[in-house]
Structure 1
Amino acid sequence: MELRHLRYFVALAEELSFTVAAARMNISQPPLSQQIKDLEREVGTVLFERTSRRVKLTPAGISFLVNARTILSGVEHAAKDARDIGAGQVSVINVGTTGSVLLGPLAELIAIFGKRYRDVVMRIHEMGPQAQQAALLARRIDVSFIRRPPHEPDLITQLAWHENVGVVLPAAHRLAAYDQLPLSALKNESLVFLRLSDSRFARYLRDCCIEAGFTPQISHEVVESYSLTSLVAAGLGIALVPECVQKLSRPGVVYRPLEAPAPSADVQIMYRPDRSEAIERLIGLAGEVLNPGPPPREIASQ
């Protein structure tokens, strides 16, 4: 299937006349008719009802029209972006992050940046922490927002924003009666946890539990922090989560902060030393919006 098939299809779907659609596409009617037949054969179903008096979309054709328009619009948008970038009119920042980090102030930062710097296109790529490191080094993304960034001397990290760790637990749980909890209070509890094999943040939380005097009893592991609330709601355990997760209200589940000293869920911004001017703008805005105060000191990831 080629893009011309989709363009011919959309023209006929909008004109509902082979004669008019052919004139619109600057071809004769027989080639248009053949292109539509070829498309229907490739799709595997009839897209138009044809009679001597009219052309009408079938239910399958109506559905296909929605998707065809989306594809063509995406192609046109991609081509425009490429032309603008090639002409030096816009820059692109590819941002790597996780879904749970997006629950925090990152989305607001991206929105503010888009309004302030209209000559920069930002694209969000959700991916795991290890994949973000690989993508940064391979130049598939330009910047990463991540908890507990990996050890990588070729990348720079600095604080994006502070965030605490709290506990999510069923509202009927005996520990829910307390306004805040010491980490050691979880000693005999069944915990649902981030996947230890994928997440340095998860391993950090496990180590914090060990320092508090116990090895966490982990019943289930998941990839994203916001998935933990579903497991807690189902009664499968309690969970240690970044404080932003409490935004996900769920019946029967409550959030309690931890007593100091408590684990942190600070988010770092990570990027390559040879960052572009657009990345410099983003780093500056992050310091202004997310972590007001003196400019953070750059350090090699370690």
Structure 2
Amino acid sequence: MELRHLTYFAKVAELGSVSRAATALNITQPALSRQIKDLERSIGYILFDRGPRGVTLTAAGAGLFRHCETVFAQVDRIPEVLRTAAQNRQMLHVGVPQGLPYDWFLALLQAVDAQVPTIALTLHEATTDEQWQMLQSKLVDVALLHREAPEAGGSMLLMKQTIGVAVVADSPLAGLAEVGFAELDGLSVMAHAVGEIAAEEIRLRAAAAAAGVSMQWVFRRFSEHSGLIAVTAKVDAVLLTQSSAARHLPDWVWIPVRAERDPSFDLAIRTWATWNEPGTPHVQALLSVMSAQARPLG
């Protein structure tokens, strides 16, 4: 089996047709069919069910198609790996979610350069769920997750960020030192949940219900257009961390959410470093630097 076999297979799987894949790959259909059959013979599994309307993946084919993403990603990294190795440095891949404070990560990078110069970090921005899959597939060495992994070799609480609300400057809330759910009663509030953690929406709704207030929730995935989304949706406030507010809503006023006695009001965002055991010496060195930079109490 050669890499070209996997490339051909992935294109057929993607398009669901040998003829369309042959056109995309600029080879003849008979030649592509032979390559696919050669691959099936070499691995001992039928990868496609052939039909008059095209091909569909078998269970084995679906498994291989999922694995191809990992294989191709590792191949794409070869130039970077060689460049780093030539400098006598070990490349570590770190998954990064949205919402991490820029100053914290910049300090971490500087500490790594100073304390472990044999390490070169490369970052991959992804959601918590995406990072968990990347960690399982060994596409990242350390994942920074916004939830504690249900099962993992190692996990360390890195930081706890206070949640607050961002409002426009002329909002009645703008002059407050802090807000609670009582001040948000009856308002339209935008929060980040889509594409990140499905449980976040459930947690926020439960906290509002526990406080006995009613809010109109608008759940969106935060991006460079968050300000426009908030204005278009005509929300009264946006629930997020101070670092996210500075990034996405720089002209808005950020106010911390008031702490309550009831544990259900703990809306802080926690971030865990998670890795596969046993960690390599370089991974352990990175984790040691991360531990020194941790802000687990907010």
TM over 0.5: yes
C-alpha distance in structure 1 between counterparts of 2:281 and 2:244, whole Å? 33
Q: Deviations over 1:175-230 (max 9, x none)?
A: 222111112321211111213464244443333223322354123x3223775444
Number of residue pairs matched by the alignment: 215
1:282 aligned partner: 286
1:129 aligned partner: 128
Contact residue 164 and residue 242 of structure 1 kept, 8 A: yes
Instruction: Tell me the CA shift for residue 132 of structure 1.
Output: 0.4
1:244 aligned partner: 243
Structure 2: which amino acid aligns with 1:210? A
C-alpha distance in structure 2 between counterparts of 1:227 and 1:283, whole Å? 34
What SS is found at the alignment partner of 2:111? helix
1:169 aligned partner: 167
Could you say if the C-alpha distance between residues 184 and 268 of structure 1 is closer, same or farther in structure 2, counting changes exceeding 3 Å? farther
% of aligned pairs identical?
16
1:224 to 214, 222, 225: 222
What SS is found at the alignment partner of 1:274? coil
Please show how residues 208-223 of structure 1 align to structure 2 within 5 Å: 208-214=207-213, 216-219=215-218, 221-223=219-221
2:187 to 175, 186, 189: 189
TM-score of the aligned structures, taking structure 1 as reference length: 0.61
Please show how residues 82-161 of structure 1 align to structure 2 within 5 Å: 82=82, 85=85, 89-101=88-100, 103=102, 105-150=104-149, 152-161=150-159
My pick for the range that moved more, 207-216 or 276-285, is 207-216
Contact residue 193 and residue 228 of structure 1 kept, 8 A: no
What SS is found at the alignment partner of 1:118? coil
2:271 aligned partner: 267
C-alpha RMSD of matched pairs (Å): 3.1
Show structure 1 runs of 5+ residues with no match. 1-74, 294-302
2:40 aligned partner: none
C-alpha distance in structure 1 between counterparts of 2:169 and 2:221, whole Å? 24
1:296 aligned partner: none
Instruction: Tell me the CA shift for residue 102 of structure 1.
Output: 5.2
Q: Which one has a bigger Cα radius of gyration?
A: 1
1:253 aligned partner: 252
Structure 1: which amino acid aligns with 2:173? L
Q: Deviations over 1:227-265 (max 9, x none)?
A: 544434557211110122243385651100111124211
C-alpha distance in structure 1 between counterparts of 2:139 and 2:109, whole Å? 19
1:299 aligned partner: none
Please show how residues 8-87 of structure 1 align to structure 2 within 5 Å: 79=79, 81-82=81-82, 85=85
Structure 2: which amino acid aligns with 1:111? Q
